[in-house]
Amino acid sequence: MAQNSRKPGYELVKGFFKENPVLVQLLGICSVLAVSNTVVNSISMGVSVLFVLFFSSLVIGLIKDLIPNEVRIPAYIVVIATFVTVADLFLKAKFPDISKALGAYIPLIVVNCIILARQEAFTKKNKLLPSILDAIGMGTGYIITILLMGIIREILGFGSIFGVKIFGSWFKPILVMILPPGAFLTLAMLIGFMNFITRKSEEKKL
């Protein structure tokens, strides 16, 4: 398989831009849309997803050969759900405000397509180290995207970053940005921009 001849470093960085799970693979979009209205929420969600993805890929990478093929999906889901629950309980205990802000979207990480997709598309077919790097890379790519969304939406919709107002009182927040329509608009612009850059770099290669 061609993948075996790729450098391990590639498996790590491909998730940042080239195969960015949200902007290129269009996975995990609903969590990005739902909780990216402030930078704090975005980072919390991003870190949670990275946590789950990392440990899921690690565990599944370790035991993948032991699981009969017919039951691999339930097995993967149990592993993923376990780590999501751990993350959820941890947030509820140590960061109750964030837990409240993210609400139901933390448990929903279980069905975040990115995590199961990476297991199916990569972890189960590759060795452990590339799988771990893949997980870290995809998770980081997710964080980059949702963080970008969070920054744009919080600046335009609240006039602040991390809850700190950065404009003076003259600033009139564009409220729609922190509401769902704003999320869709921002994500659309980001995806469009990503496509634009990709096309330009392909044209340059020719």
List contacts with another protein (CB under 8 A).
63, 66-68, 70-71, 74-75, 78-79, 81-82, 85-86, 89-90, 92-94, 96, 100, 172, 174-179, 181-182, 185
| Smallest distance, another protein to C-beta of residue 100, A | 8
Nearer to another protein, 144 or 185 (CB): 185
Nearer to another protein, 164 or 179 (CB): 179
Amino acid symbol at 66: L
Nearer to another protein, 71 or 164 (CB): 71
Report the run of H or E that residue 117 belongs to, with start and end: helix 113-121
Beta-strand ranges (E) seen in 60-188 are 160-161, 164-165
Amino acid symbol at 74: P
| Smallest distance, another protein to C-beta of residue 78, A | 5
What is the rounded distance in angstroms from the CA atom of residue 125 to the CA atom of residue 103?
34
159-189 b/e with 16+ CB inside 10 Å = b?
A: bbeeeeeeeeeeeeeeeebbeeebbeebbee
Alpha carbon of 117 to those of 67, 88, 176: distances in Å? Answer: 17, 21, 32
| Smallest distance, another protein to C-beta of residue 62, A | 12
Nearer to another protein, 2 or 93 (CB): 93
| Smallest distance, another protein to C-beta of residue 137, A | 26
Nearer to another protein, 8 or 181 (CB): 181
Q: Are 42 and 142 in contact (CB under 8 A)?
A: no
| Smallest distance, another protein to C-beta of residue 197, A | 14
Nearer to another protein, 70 or 202 (CB): 70
> C-alpha 154: how far from its chain's center?
18
| Smallest distance, another protein to C-beta of residue 134, A | 22
**CB-based burial label for 66 (10 Å; 0-12, 13-18, 19+):** exposed
